[in-house]
């Protein structure tokens, strides 16, 4: 047997819900059957926002071929970047011969199942907003709530979503490169005149990235139903507003809302919450049906997403910011009745 120091090391980092990442995982499993050639492969699955941030950081740090990466998975051979899942397959072909026919439907199903596993593994609450810009359905914003850190605030917000308190309301303020604000009626007031304010529970979550979900207030301990989502790190908000969630799906939709034309921060096109609720992954229909919906993704978005490895699972084995998030589901899921309240 070859000395362990001479064995080839493989590592992949990719988007948890991408088919490309799942294919790379499959190829790594093949390599793991050849311990005399390869050391233990390492796989790291990242949610959407974390993957985007990782890719930006890696490109700035190493540049080169990383700028040409178009697949949502990065493969490293002996700590050197070689490309995506297709380049990994070419590498394996150059080492030995094998034959395996796996239909794409298998990877699509794994994509959905792993997204469900991710949601369940966090043991946190997930809520969604179906957002309509102008008169067309644009897609879904899915948030993970830090219910283990701010149980009271998250429970209140969850109840707002479950009771459809935000349905038919609008995002009435879009502050470019700042935040988008929602939860108000047509006149910009609270969605419920009888809304009772609740206290600031904690400032343990920072406004240190895009997609942070936070409560609007009018001073200390005056939180009600209005909320906002950051578009950039806004550290000045950290001890003024209670942040309690993070966007996990809908990056393109958030960008679309940000790009809406405004007049003194008021959107000129109606941006409405067509529906809202609590996401229950166990109630999603069959994996195949859901996979077909996800492949559609939010308005012409690219197909791709997945995670799972027998030897070292991505999200479960990661040492990453526990507040980071995942993937994106589309309005197609909503149209096909695949959200369960």
Q: What is the pLDDT of residue 98?
A: 65
pLDDT tens-place string over residues 49-97: 788 888 988 998 888 888 989 899 999 988 899 999 889 888 888 877 7
Number of neighbours of residue 37 by Cβ within 10 angstroms: 14
| pLDDT 10s digits, 277-286 | 998 865 443 3
Q: Which CATH architecture has domain 124-296+322-335?
A: Beta Barrel (2.40)
- pLDDT of residue 142 exceeding 60: yes
- Where do we find the tokens 């150059």? 94
The residue behind tokens 């939010």 is 298
Q: Which of 18-22, 122-126, 297-301 has the weakest average pLDDT?
A: 297-301
Q: What is the pLDDT of residues 180-238, one digit of tens each?
A: 999 877 655 554 444 678 889 999 999 999 999 999 998 888 898 899 999 999 999 99
pTM: 0.72
Find the mean pLDDT for residues 145-156: 93
Higher local confidence (pLDDT), 176 or 136: 176
96, two tokens: 């030995």
The pLDDT score that the predictor gives to residue 5 is 58
Tokens 């890696």 correspond to what residue? Answer: 58
- Could you tell me if 169 and 272 are in contact, meaning their C-beta atoms sit under 8 angstroms apart? yes
User: pLDDT tens digit string along 3-46?
Assistant: 545 888 899 999 888 889 988 988 888 888 888 888 888 888 88
pLDDT of residue 137: 66
Query: Is the predicted pLDDT of residue 241 greater than 90, yes or no?
Result: yes
Contacts of 213-216 with CB under 8 Å at 24 or more apart are: 213/143, 213/145, 213/243, 213/244, 213/245, 213/246, 213/247, 214/241, 214/242, 214/243, 214/244, 214/245, 215/153, 215/157, 215/241, 215/242, 215/244, 216/181, 216/183, 216/241
b/e 137-163 (16+ beta carbons within 10 angstroms → b):
bbbbbbbbbbbebbeebbebbbebbee
Token output for 217: 């207030």
Contacts of 82 (CB under 8 A, 6+ apart): 75, 76, 88, 91
Task: Give the residue-averaged pLDDT of 170-188.
Answer: 84
For the chain, what are the domain ranges?
Answer: 4-107, 124-296+322-335
Is pLDDT above 50 for 102? yes
CA nearest to 134, candidates 36, 316, 270, 320? 270
- C-alpha distances (whole Å) from 232 to each of 136, 193, 202 are 26, 31, 21
Per-residue pLDDT band for 302 (boundaries 50, 70, 90) equals very low
Give the 3-state secondary structure of the chain.
Answer: CCCHHHCECEEEEEECCCHHHHHHHHHHHHHCCCCCCECCCEEEEECHHHHHHHHHHHHHHHCHHHHHCCCCEEEEECCEEEECHHHHHHHHHHHCCCCCCCCHHHHHHHHHHHHHHHHHHHCCEEEEEEEEECCEEEEEEEEEECCCCCHHHHHHHHHHHHCCCCCCCEEEEEECCCEEEEEECCCCCECCCCCCCECCCCCCCCCCCCCEEEECCCCCCCECCCEEEECCCCHHHCCCCCEEEEEEECHHHHHHHHCCCEECCEECCCEEEEEEEECCHHHCCCHHHHHHHHHHCCCCCCCCCCCCCCCCCHHHHCCCCCCCCCCCCCHHHHHCCCCCC
4-107 classified as CATH 3.40.30.10: yes
Higher pLDDT among residues 262 and 297, named by residue: 262
- Which residues have a Cβ under 8 Å from the Cβ of 255 and sit 6 or more positions away? none
Say what the pLDDT of residue 99 is.
64
pLDDT above 50 for 341: no
């Amino acid at each position: 047997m070859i000395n362990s120091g001479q064995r080839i090391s493989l590592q992949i980092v990719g988007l948890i819900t991408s088919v490309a990442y799942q294919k790379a995982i499959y190829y790594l499993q093949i390599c793991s059957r050849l311990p005399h050639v390869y050391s233990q492969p390492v796989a790291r699955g990242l949610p959407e926002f974390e993957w985007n941030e990782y890719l930006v950081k890696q490109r700035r740090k190493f540049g080169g071929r990383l700028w040409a990466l178009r697949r949502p998975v990065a493969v490293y051979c002996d700590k050197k970047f070689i490309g995506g899942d297709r380049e990994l397959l070419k590498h394996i072909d150059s080492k030995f011969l094998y034959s395996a026919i796996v239909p794409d439907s298998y990877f699509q199903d794994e994509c959905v199942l792993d997204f469900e596993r991710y949601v369940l593994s966090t043991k946190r609450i997930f809520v969604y907003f179906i957002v309509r810009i102008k008169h067309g359905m644009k897609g879904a914003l899915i948030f993970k709530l830090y219910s283990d850190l701010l149980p009271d605030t998250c429970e209140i917000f969850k109840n707002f979503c479950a009771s459809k308190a935000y349905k038919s309301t609008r995002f009435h303020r879009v502050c470019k490169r700042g935040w988008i604000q929602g939860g108000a009626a047509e006149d910009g007031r609270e969605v419920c005149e009888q809304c009772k304010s609740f206290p600031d529970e904690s400032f343990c979550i920072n406004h240190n990235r895009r997609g942070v979900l936070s409560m609007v207030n009018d001073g200390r301990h005056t939180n009600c139903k209005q909320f906002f989502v950051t578009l950039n790190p806004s550290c000045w908000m950290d001890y003024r507003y209670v942040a309690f969630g993070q966007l996990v799906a809908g990056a393109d939709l958030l960008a679309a809302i940000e790009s809406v034309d405004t007049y003194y921060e008021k959107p000129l096109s109606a941006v409405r919450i067509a529906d809202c609720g609590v996401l229950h992954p166990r109630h999603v229909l069959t994996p195949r049906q859901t996979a077909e919906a996800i492949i559609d993704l939010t308005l012409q978005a690219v197909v791709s997403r997945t995670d799972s490895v027998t030897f070292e699972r991505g999200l479960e084995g990661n040492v990453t910011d526990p507040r980071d998030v995942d993937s994106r589901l589309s309005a197609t899921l909503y149209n096909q009745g695949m959200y369960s309240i």
